[in-house]
């Protein structure tokens, strides 16, 4: 059932190209230029009335939601807030009939997410669920459902569900933009073209798993490390850090690189590993100077960047280049090496990769 892989997690990491293709599936018009979301019951008139969007989820799904915020704000120009589901109800969120609430849940059974969904509906919001389980509680109670066709995810550490959630956000963001006219048709067609290239690019990254395995062996002897990134890369390193903690039990913190000097830089000492993600051209120079700040204090830096940016190669100790795409789509590629890093670090430490201590796949208690 593991199809020749040692663990479900590794199998699920390698299933991502298929999960991307299946999630895009018939939602891309045969012309390749438009998004079709026949599953949505919301009308165009409703979409024009949306004033704000709240994205609510837990754990990895929350991290997908953080990327979702960037996607929707950039493409559809609607203000988006993100909330951890266990906090949402208790902060008296301002929910009006013109608030669209997007809940994200692989299992569709997470108690906190379900409670947030019910609270949103009680306050009169429309709720869209992005879920991997057709017929789950979240799917049944939401007004609209966008299914991620990742297939069953068995490992406790979520991988293909997260990336399929990203794909769902790209599709939904494009759909909103198309309906609202916030982006011109040619731009939408370009993004769609690039989306379709992602599965092959993930395959290319997977061919470099050996490099990541070596990195993982190096970091596995440390007890603390940092992940840094800016903009959308910050959302991705949060996910990388969670994955590493969850299965390798190595403590790590994910930081927006520019924020280090406001306190955390004090923790950087000789030999501490720092994983730096730098995929965003407009933030690239700033990220390189942040890398130099940690290097100057003795950090050992592993850099992941988009092909063609040579400045970073000089600034870091080890480098992994990932294929180019448009900056907004980069999380769907850059998270893959971070998933592999967590996997191989867990393996190097002799942990139970698929069933980490203290955790359950589906969290049905609040």
User: Would you please indicate which residues are annotated as catalytic (active-site) residues?
Assistant: 361
What the block records as the tokens of 256 is 């927006």
- For the bound state, the minimum distance from the C-beta of residue 360 to ligand M6R, rounded and expressed in Å, comes to 8
Strand order in the sheet with 318-322: 251-256, 224-229, 273-278, 300-306, 318-322
Q: Which of 58, 145, 188, 244 binds ligand M6R (CB under 6 A)?
A: 58
Q: What are phi and psi of 352, to 5 degrees?
A: -80, 95
Using the rule CB under 6 A, is 235 a contact of ligand M6R? no
What span, in angstroms and rounded, lies between the C-alpha atoms of 274 and 263?
Answer: 16
Of 58 and 80, CB closest to ligand M6R:
58
DSSP 87-115: HHGGG-----TTEEEEEEESSS--HHHHH
39-47, 101-109, 227-235, 252-260 -> range binding ligand M6R (CB under 6 A): 101-109
Of 154 and 268, CB closest to ligand M6R:
154
Using the rule CB under 6 A, is 148 a contact of ligand M6R? no
In this structure, are residues 198 and 332 in contact, taking their beta carbons and an 8 Å threshold?
yes
Using the rule CB under 6 A, is 107 a contact of ligand M6R? yes
- For the bound state, the minimum distance from the C-beta of residue 136 to ligand M6R, rounded and expressed in Å, comes to 9
Using the rule CB under 6 A, is 156 a contact of ligand M6R? yes
Closest CA to 186 of 174, 176, 196: 174
What span, in angstroms and rounded, lies between the C-alpha atoms of 278 and 231?
Answer: 10
53-61, 74-82, 116-124, 210-218 -> range binding ligand M6R (CB under 6 A): 53-61
Classify residue 203 as exposed, middle or buried by CB count within 10 Å of its CB (0-12, 13-18, 19+): middle
**What Cα–Cα distance (Å) separates residue 346 from each residue in 157, 210, 222?**
11, 15, 12
Closest CA to 332 of 92, 164, 189: 164
Using the rule CB under 6 A, is 106 a contact of ligand M6R? yes
- For the bound state, the minimum distance from the C-beta of residue 16 to ligand M6R, rounded and expressed in Å, comes to 14
Using the rule CB under 6 A, is 136 a contact of ligand M6R? no
How many CB atoms are closer than 10 A to CB 248?
Answer: 25
How many residues lie near ligand M6R (CB under 6 A)?
Answer: 15
Using the rule CB under 6 A, is 105 a contact of ligand M6R? yes
Q: What are phi and psi of 306, to 5 degrees?
A: -80, 140
> Binding string to ligand M6R for residues 239 to 278, with x set by CB under 6 A, is what?
-------x--------------------------------
- For the bound state, the minimum distance from the C-beta of residue 48 to ligand M6R, rounded and expressed in Å, comes to 30
Q: How many residues would you count in the chain?
A: 366
Using the rule CB under 6 A, is 327 a contact of ligand M6R? no
Binding residues for ligand M6R, rule: CB under 6 A, are: 58-61, 105-107, 110, 113, 156-158, 246, 362-363
């Amino acid at each position: 059932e593991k199809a020749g892989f040692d663990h479900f997690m590794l199998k699920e990491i390698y299933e991502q190209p298929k999960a991307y293709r299946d999630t895009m599936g018939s939602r891309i018009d045969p012309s390749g230029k438009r998004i079709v979301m026949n599953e949505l019951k919301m009308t165009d008139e409703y979409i024009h009335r949306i004033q704000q969007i709240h994205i609510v989820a837990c754990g990895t799904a929350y991290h997908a939601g953080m990327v979702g915020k960037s996607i929707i704000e950039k493409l559809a120009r609607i203000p988006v807030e993100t909330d951890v589901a266990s906090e949402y109800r208790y902060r008296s969120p301002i929910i009006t009939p013109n608030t669209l609430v997007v809940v994200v849940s692989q299992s569709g059974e997470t108690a906190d997410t379900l409670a947030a969904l019910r609270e949103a509906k009680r306050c009169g919001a429309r709720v869209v669920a992005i879920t991997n389980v057709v017929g789950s509680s979240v799917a049944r109670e939401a007004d609209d459902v966008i299914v991620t066709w990742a297939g069953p995810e068995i490992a406790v550490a979520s991988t293909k569900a997260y990336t399929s959630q990203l794909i769902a956000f790209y599709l939904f963001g494009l759909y909103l933009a198309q309906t609202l006219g916030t982006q011109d048709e040619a731009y939408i067609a370009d993004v769609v073209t690039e989306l379709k290239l992602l599965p092959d690019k993930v395959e290319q990254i997977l061919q470099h798993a050996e490099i990541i395995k070596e990195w993982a062996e190096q970091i596995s002897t440390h007890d603390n490390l940092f992940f840094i990134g800016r903009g959308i890369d910050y959302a991705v390193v949060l996910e990388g850090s969670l994955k590493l903690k969850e299965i390798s039990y190595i403590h790590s913190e994910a930081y927006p690189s520019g924020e280090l000097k406001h306190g955390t830089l004090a923790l950087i000492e000789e030999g501490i590993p720092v994983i730096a993600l730098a995929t965003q051209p407009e933030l690239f120079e700033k990220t390189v100077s942040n890398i130099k700040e940690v290097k100057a204090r003795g950090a050992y830096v592993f850099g992941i960047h988009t092909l063609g940016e040579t400045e970073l190669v000089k600034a870091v100790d080890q480098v992994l280049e990932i294929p180019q795409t448009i900056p907004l789509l980069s999380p769907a590629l850059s998270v893959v090496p971070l998933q592999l890093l967590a996997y191989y670090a867990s393996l190097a430490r002799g942990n139970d990769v698929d069933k980490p201590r203290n955790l359950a796949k589906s969290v049905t208690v609040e």
